[in-house]
């Protein structure tokens, strides 16, 4: 590289332009006893921004339970790792790429996939699956089709080229995301339990090596961009979005895993947000060491790059690794064989400082601790504000509801309709581990060489969190665990992606704190530790925040792959039953949130109440019944309640659409409230007639309610009121047509 002979002098105005506050600028001056160089200022802006420092969230994230009998690596590393027995472990994490995907949807989503893949194989794991959680604006918003098509194509383009299947996820539409979409991606990998690699720059004198793609000017200030809201100038930030190359990443993956097998790697880290700066600083910080980086020999894609540009570039498909001294030739041989650049760019030191040198000059000399543990931490003001009315908007709908027409409307809405136009772009069967296609409660992946399977899901409900962040946080964790239990898998651990608005607003911080408290409470009650995660703040446009949207990614274990079930009805004549908390009404009236929103555009009321003791009991019954071979299907009740769950189970039948004759459980009252209500801790199951009595006995022994509500049939979906009066009859072809056409105007 050719460094600039001199850098501009820094001052407060430049610091503010870099996203630092006046108070932070003064702290830098006081701590250093001098003005920082331009490169140093860039380093501070990267390491002290919200995206890298977690300065507004750190005090709250400590509330999460992070330990458990299967946890091998918790938060703080590139990914969490959980033991699954037999000498194997699963590494997983979820990350956001919200701002880049709104600015440039294809590359933003694609590089989000690339980044989370690197987080996983950096741990020494081979990625086996991707999932996503996507939030777009209203379906009739002018930018929605453009954004949806770009994001989905970007996820597909990168994942398919890498040969990693995208096996599940969720996609929702709401006006609160019109100006700020959410693109969260989760990756799961399999590894040896005793061979975990950490992002540590350990061993004084060990070489620091830049491997992978050469560094260019793309993505400079990407992390800072992710720590700010949007305005009319958002399109001008396009140069901050990275450009991905999945074919190069495939080479990088194989080269890194091969090198790890050789035993020469001391530490390794993805050059993600803030690039070389964050990877170098974080690796040294974890090890309690220092680093000297000499940039003259670093691979550069463009001429004349300055140290400032080099340190802040977020060019993709790059890793920083520390190798055992004397193994440089071995590293070079492997990477040259995989046609990837490799260069020794420095070494580990014992002085606890980051030194950046180029052209015989020093461009940065900073204490590592000042950039990591001593970075600003804020306990921001919190003030709860409720934006939606406390009254249940169901009361605003007329009583004379046509259940059939309402169900068709729900199933034709893109929030609840079939996501086939999205899934068909993903190669979800590559590597031949996928036991079930996308669309069920959770993805199922075979662990080759064993009888085990992994169940994986992503879940979140922003409406619940807007109504009550604490309850919304609890319900997100509970639903994720319930989805895993519906496959027969035992929940092991979770990751998260916490998408919120501007943390400088007291209302947003109140939402954030309450949501974490609710999630933490649920995690402890259900025995699901948090092993990794991500915080995405400043999801706002023109000062308007998105709804609080914490997304849960959860992994469960099925010891015997043969003992699993799906959400679709399987056989005519099966008993259809509802599992629910004992002592509660099978279907309490009220809380039909998605139904009311879809029909009227109104929101309000309260999220469903939840008892964790009851939730655990219902999930435990479901898993035990599946393991005993008693169930042919299991599907949790969520958005749209019993009505939507019935329709989805009928339409998802592997034998083709299979109908049912159903009597709505409950007392006299509003039928639509019973049919579309969204109570927690409910699972819709089907069982052979000869097994149902055993199921009922098992439920009684576990103190769980189990009520027969109908039978599967070859005909349509026929529903009776609690008193026996017919209230709905739908032809399955019409229902299937509505379900399949939900995304027709968008994709």
Q: Which residues are catalytic?
A: 51, 97
DSSP alpha helix (H) spans, 123-243: 144-162, 222-225
Which of 185, 104, 94 shows the shortest CA–CA distance to 149?
Answer: 104
Sheet of 704-713: strand order equals: 633-636, 683-687, 575-581, 704-713, 659-663, 717-720, 726-730
Whole-angstrom distance, CA of residue 386 vs CA of residue 376: 29
Task: Output the furthest CA–CA distance in the chain (Å, rounded).
Answer: 88
**Long-range pairs, 261-264, Cβ under 8 A, ≥24:** 262/327, 262/330, 262/334, 264/323, 264/324, 264/327, 264/330, 264/331
What tokens were used for 542?
A: 């023109």
- Phi-psi group of 86: left, alpha or beta (phi > 0 → left; psi -120 to 50 → alpha; rest → beta): left
**Long-range pairs, 57-63, Cβ under 8 A, ≥24:** 57/498, 57/503, 57/512, 57/535, 57/537, 58/377, 59/377, 59/379, 60/512, 60/513, 60/516, 61/516, 61/533, 61/535, 63/516, 63/517, 63/520
How many CB atoms lie under 10 A from the CB of residue 362?
13
How many CB atoms lie under 10 A from the CB of residue 679?
22
Residues with Cβ < 8 Å from 470, sequence gap 6 or more?
514, 515, 517, 518
Which of 73, 113, 38, 103 shows the shortest CA–CA distance to 238?
Answer: 103
Which of 472, 438, 457, 479 shows the shortest CA–CA distance to 554?
Answer: 457
Contact predicate 93/78, CB 8 Å: yes
Element (H or E) spanning 495, and its range? Answer: strand 490-499
What tokens were used for 703?
A: 């103190």
């Amino acid at each position: 590289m050719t460094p600039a002979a001199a850098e501009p002098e820094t001052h407060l105005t430049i610091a503010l332009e870099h996203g630092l506050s006046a108070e932070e600028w003064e702290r830098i001056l006081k701590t250093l006893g001098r003005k920082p160089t331009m490169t140093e200022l860039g380093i501070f802006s990267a390491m002290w921004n919200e995206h890298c420092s977690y300065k507004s969230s750190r005090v709250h994230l400590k509330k999460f339970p992070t330990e458990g009998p299967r946890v091998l690596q918790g938060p703080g590393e590139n990914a969490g790792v959980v033991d699954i027995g037999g000498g194997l472990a699963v590494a997983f994490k979820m990350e956001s790429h919200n701002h880049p995907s709104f600015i440039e949807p294809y590359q933003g989503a694609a590089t989000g996939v690339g980044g989370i893949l690197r987080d996983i194989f950096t741990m020494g794991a081979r990625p086996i699956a991707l999932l996503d959680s996507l939030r777009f604006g209203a379906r009739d918003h002018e930018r929605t089709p453009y954004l949806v098509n770009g994001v989905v194509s970007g996820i597909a383009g990168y994942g398919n080229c890498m040969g990693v299947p995208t096996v599940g996820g969720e996609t929702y539409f709401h006006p609160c995301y019109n100006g700020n979409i959410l693109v969260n991606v989760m990756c799961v990998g399999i590894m040896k339990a005793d061979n975990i690699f950490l992002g540590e720059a350990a061993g004084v004198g060990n070489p620091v090596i830049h491997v992978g793609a050469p560094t260019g000017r793309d993505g400079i200030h990407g992390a800072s961009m992710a720590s700010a809201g949007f305005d009319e100038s958002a399109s001008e930030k396009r140069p901050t979005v990275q450009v991905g190359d999945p074919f190069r990443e495939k080479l990088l993956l194989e080269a890194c895993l091969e090198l790890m097998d050789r035993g020469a790697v001391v530490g390794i880290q993805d050059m993600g947000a803030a690039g070389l700066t964050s990877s170098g600083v974080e690796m040294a910080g974890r090890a309690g060491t220092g680093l000297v980086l000499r940039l003259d020999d670093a691979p550069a894609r463009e001429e004349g790059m300055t140290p400032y540009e080099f340190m802040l570039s977020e060019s993709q498909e790059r890793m920083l690794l520390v190798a055992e001294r004397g193994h440089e030739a071995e590293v070079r041989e492997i990477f040259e064989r995989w046609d990837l650049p490799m260069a020794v760019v420095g070494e580990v030191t014992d002085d606890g400082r980051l030194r950046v040198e180029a052209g015989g000059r020093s461009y940065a000399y900073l204490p590592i601790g000042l950039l990591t543990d001593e970075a600003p931490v804020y306990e921001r003001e919190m003030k709860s504000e409720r934006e939606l009315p406390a009254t249940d908007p169901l009361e605003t709908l007329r009583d004379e509801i046509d259940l059939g027409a309402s169900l068709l409307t729900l199933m034709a809405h893109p929030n609840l309709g079939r996501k086939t136009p999205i899934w068909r772009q993903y190669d979800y069967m590559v590597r031949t581990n996928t036991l079930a296609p996308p669309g069920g409660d959770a993805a199922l992946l075979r662990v080759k060489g064993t009888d085990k399977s992994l169940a994986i899901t992503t879940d979140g409900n922003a409406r619940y969190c807007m109504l009550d962040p604490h309850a919304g946080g609890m319900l997100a964790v509970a639903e994720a665990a319930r989805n895993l239990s519906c496959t027969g898998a035992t929940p092991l651990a979770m990751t998260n992606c916490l998408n919120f608005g501007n943390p400088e607003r007291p209302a947003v911080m109140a939402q954030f704190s309450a949501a974490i408290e609710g999630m933490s409470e649920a995690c402890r009650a259900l025995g699901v530790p948090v092993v990794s995660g991500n915080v995405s703040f400043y999801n706002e446009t023109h000062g308007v925040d998105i709804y609080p949207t914490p997304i849960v990614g959860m992994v469960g274990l099925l010891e015997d792959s043969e003992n699993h079930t799906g959400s679709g009805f399987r056989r005519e004549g099966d008993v259809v039953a509802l599992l629910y908390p004992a002592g509660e009404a099978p279907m309490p009236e009220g809380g039909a949130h998605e139904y009311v929103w879809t029909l009227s555009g109104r929101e309000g009321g309260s999220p469903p109440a939840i008892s964790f003791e009851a939730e655990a009991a219902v999930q435990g019954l479901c898993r035990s019944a599946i393991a005993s071979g008693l169930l042919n299907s299991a599907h949790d009740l969520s958005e749209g309640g019993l009505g939507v769950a019935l329709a989805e189970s009928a339409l998802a039948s592997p034998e083709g659409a299979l109908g049912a004759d159903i009597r709505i459980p409950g007392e006299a009252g509003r039928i639509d409230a019973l049919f579309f209500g969204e109570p927690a801790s409910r699972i819709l199951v089907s069982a052979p007639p000869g097994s149902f009595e055993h199921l009922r006995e098992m439920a009684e022994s576990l103190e769980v309610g189990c009520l027969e509500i109908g039978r599967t049939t070859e005909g349509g979906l026929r529903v009776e009121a609690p008193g026996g009066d017919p209230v709905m009859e739908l032809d399955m072809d019409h229902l299937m047509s509505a379900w399949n056409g939900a995304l027709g105007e968008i994709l």
